[in-house]
């Protein structure tokens, strides 16, 4: 069966290993010199010069069937099918006579919206990684698996000739949506496989199933089943805040929203582990065990002890493990229609409220915008916040136009009356370097109040500058921190900083989304002549 499947794409491998269990894959990885075993039992590997995703090496085959659907540009770069086939064929020839590892798995915890993926790997450790990250079929399901909906061929040992193929580098991540095939060449970073699956689902779920795919985490109340989803870019606390011990974790990164509720697209987690500490993130810390794959974590070769604080290989150290390594995970990964949607942003400008409620149009504006702020690399105390706008909180993985996803979100918010909150996990009382980061315990209290309905009967005031409704009180949170302007000693400095951020919002939206519905465009931040303050 395996050989027949590989022969169909023209591959003539040596030995084929299909759907091995973790112990066998770890054994193969170790015997092939692909990694080492840590003292916790985790498999530790290094990915070479590619220690993160390579967005400039990602392409989509520009074919007649998808041309008018794809939002072409800097993110979704076109490539012709002839080049795709040429690289694919050379990858296949490279694998002739070599050991091949196959994994057949599912994307989508809801059987109604599930897709079958076949992953063909050169590396045993990458096969273990994707086994952890996708949904693992039962033995009976494997017997009936049949042909996949999509195939991914990952061959890091094959290096592209960029001059001959007219591409960016020796690496290439290319999706052919019509051929239902993905190739990943020249890079060992396993996140490319995970995100290729997500990119496929972000195309097929809206166009074929009318399901909204989301780059978000999700959890649920274990008693009531009430569900919440959390959108947020790196550093906003998405993983930390959704891993609430009082709630069940549905998933930490990728979900679909159907007519019946939310479902996890994955069957695993891919967590950052730089500076990982047991007392701060115990669930993730204890998931770095046998069966998990740790990428680019520095390990003592004598003791096998991992140093999570060592950045010598990369800041982007990662661990991939099955979701059931988390004790409070929801099995299967499905929840109800979200009662609340939370947009997380780490505002280093220090001007956004720590929590606010959004109208429908304002929610779509913030969803499309995907704002957070990161800190510039500086010297000798020079610190300047840098705005980051990532469409839909996941721009690199969204092949369709932003309005397609935004419209689907807006329809669901209106249909189900879902509340939307913007939560600032960044700074208050001043920008980074002057103010202080909002305390995690207050953020948790605000989110709990929003999810438990404790804000439903609280008075809100409207912030005209950012078009947000701000609560005047929240259980467990000092009232004085809820109005960001009031936390600044110099109110004029706040007004100046707020106007600066509002101008960045306006510029970003005008440049990237000139054709968006005016009602949505008008629902965002705006520059003001007079102080922003709040107005009922």
Residues taking part in catalysis: 53, 195, 215, 234, 238-239, 253, 318
**27's tokens:** 């054994």
CA distances from 243 to 156, 230, 409 (A): 33, 11, 24
Asked whether 132 and 268 are in contact (CB, 8 A), the reply is: yes
How many CA atoms lie less than 13 Å away from 146 in the CB half-sphere? 4
Closest CA to 507 of 528, 525, 481, 534: 525
Q: Is 10 marked as binding a ligand? A: no
Ligand-binding site membership of 253 (annotated): yes
Crossing angle of helices 124-133/191-204, nearest 10°?
A: 40
Find out whether 339 is annotated in a ligand binding site: no
Helices (H), 119-216: 124-133, 139-143, 162-165, 191-204
To the question of whether residue 195 is assigned a binding role by annotation, the answer is: yes
169 labelled as ligand-binding? Answer: no
Q: Is 233 annotated as a binding residue?
A: yes
Residue 47 marked as a ligand binder = no
Q: 485 phi and psi, to 5 degrees?
A: -65, -35
357 belongs to an annotated ligand binding site: no
How many CB atoms are located within 10 Å of the residue 307 CB? 12
| 3-state SS track over 510-527 | HHHCCCCCHHHHCCCCCC
> Do the annotations mark residue 9 as ligand-binding?
no
The residues with which 121 forms a beta bridge, in sequence order, are 101, 154
User: Is the bond preceding residue 332 a cis peptide, omega within 30 degrees?
Assistant: yes
| H helix count then E strand count, the chain | 14, 30
C-alpha distances in Å from residue 114, one per residue of 105, 111, 330, 364: 10, 5, 18, 27
Give yes or no for a cis peptide into 387 (omega within 30° of 0). Answer: no
Tell me whether residue 437 is annotated as binding: yes
Three-class secondary structure of residue 455 per DSSP? coil
**Burial bucket for residue 371 (CB in 10 Å: 0-12, 13-18, 19+):** buried
Q: Which of 361, 340, 300 is nearest to 456 (CA)?
A: 340
Residue 235 is assigned to a ligand binding site: yes
- 53 annotated binding-site participant: yes
Is residue 187 annotated as involved in ligand binding? no
Q: Is 438 annotated as a binding residue?
A: yes
- Joined together, the tokens standing for residue 318 give 């990662």
- Closest among 297, 387, 280 to 51, alpha carbons compared: 297
User: Residues annotated as binding site for Mn(2+)?
Assistant: 195, 215, 253
User: Residues annotated as binding site for ATP?
Assistant: 195, 215, 232-240, 318, 437-438, 443
User: Residues annotated as binding site for substrate?
Assistant: 53, 189, 195, 318
User: Residues annotated as binding site?
Assistant: 53, 189, 195, 215, 232-240, 253, 318, 437-438, 443
């Amino acid at each position: 069966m395996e050989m027949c499947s590989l022969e169909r794409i023209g591959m003539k491998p040596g030995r084929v290993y299909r759907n091995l269990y973790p112990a066998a894959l770890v054994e193969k990885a170790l015997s092939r010199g692909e990694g080492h075993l840590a003292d916790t039992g985790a498999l530790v590997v290094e990915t070479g010069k590619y220690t993160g995703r390579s967005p400039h090496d990602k392409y989509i085959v520009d074919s007649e069937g998808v041309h008018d659907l794809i939002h072409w540009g800097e993110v979704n770069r076109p490539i012709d099918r002839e080049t795709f086939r040429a690289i694919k064929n050379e990858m296949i020839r490279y694998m002739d006579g070599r050991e091949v590892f196959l994994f057949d798995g599912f994307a989508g915890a809801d059987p109604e919206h599930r897709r079958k993926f076949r992953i063909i790997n050169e590396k045993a450790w990458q096969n273990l990684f994707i086994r952890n990250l996708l949904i693992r079929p039962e033995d009976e399901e494997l017997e009936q698996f049949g042909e996949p909906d999509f195939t991914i061929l990952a061959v890091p040992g094959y290096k592209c000739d960029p001059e001959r193929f007219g591409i960016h580098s020796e690496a290439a991540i290319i999706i052919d949506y019509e051929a239902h095939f993905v190739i990943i060449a020249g890079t060992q970073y396993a996140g490319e496989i995970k995100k290729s699956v997500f990119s496929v689902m972000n195309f097929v779920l809206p166009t074929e199933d009318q399901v909204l795919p989301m780059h978000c985490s999700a959890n649920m109340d274990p008693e009531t089943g009430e569900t919440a989803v959390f959108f947020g870019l790196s550093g906003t606390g998405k993983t930390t805040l959704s891993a609430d011990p009082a709630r069940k974790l549905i998933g930490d990164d990728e979900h679909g929203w159907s007519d019946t509720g939310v479902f996890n697209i994955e069957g695993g987690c891919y967590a950052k582990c730089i500076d990982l500490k047991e007392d701060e993130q115990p669930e993730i810390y204890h998931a770095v065990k046998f069966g998990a794959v740790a990428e680019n974590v520095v390990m003592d070769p004598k003791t096998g002890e991992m140093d999570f604080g060592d950045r010598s290989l990369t800041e982007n150290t990662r661990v991939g493990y099955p979701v059931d390594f988390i004790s409070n995970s929801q099995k299967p990964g499905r929840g109800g229609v979200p009662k609340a949607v939370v947009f997380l942003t780490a505002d280093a400008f220090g001007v956004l409220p720590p929590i606010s409620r959004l109208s429908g149009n304002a929610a779509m504006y913030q969803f499309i915008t995907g704002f957070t702020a990161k800190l510039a690399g500086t010297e000798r105390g020079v610190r300047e916040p840098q705005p980051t706008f990532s469409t839909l909180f996941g721009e690199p993985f969204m092949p369709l136009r932003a309005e397609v996803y935004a419209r689907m979100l807006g329809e669901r918010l209106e249909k189900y009356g879902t509340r939307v909150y913007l939560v600032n996990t960044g700074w208050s009382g001043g920008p980074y370097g002057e103010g202080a980061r909002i305390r995690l315990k207050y953020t948790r209290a605000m989110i709990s109040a929003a999810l438990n309905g404790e804000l439903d009967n609280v008075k809100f005031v409207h912030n005209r500058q950012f078009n947000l409704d701000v609560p005047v009180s929240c259980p467990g949170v000092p009232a004085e921190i809820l109005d960001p302007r009031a936390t600044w000693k110099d109110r004029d400095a706040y007004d100046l900083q707020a106007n600066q951020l509002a101008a960045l919002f306006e510029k970003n939206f005008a440049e990237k989304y000139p054709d968006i519905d005016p009602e949505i465009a008008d629902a965002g931040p705006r520059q003001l002549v007079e102080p922003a303050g709040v107005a009922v």
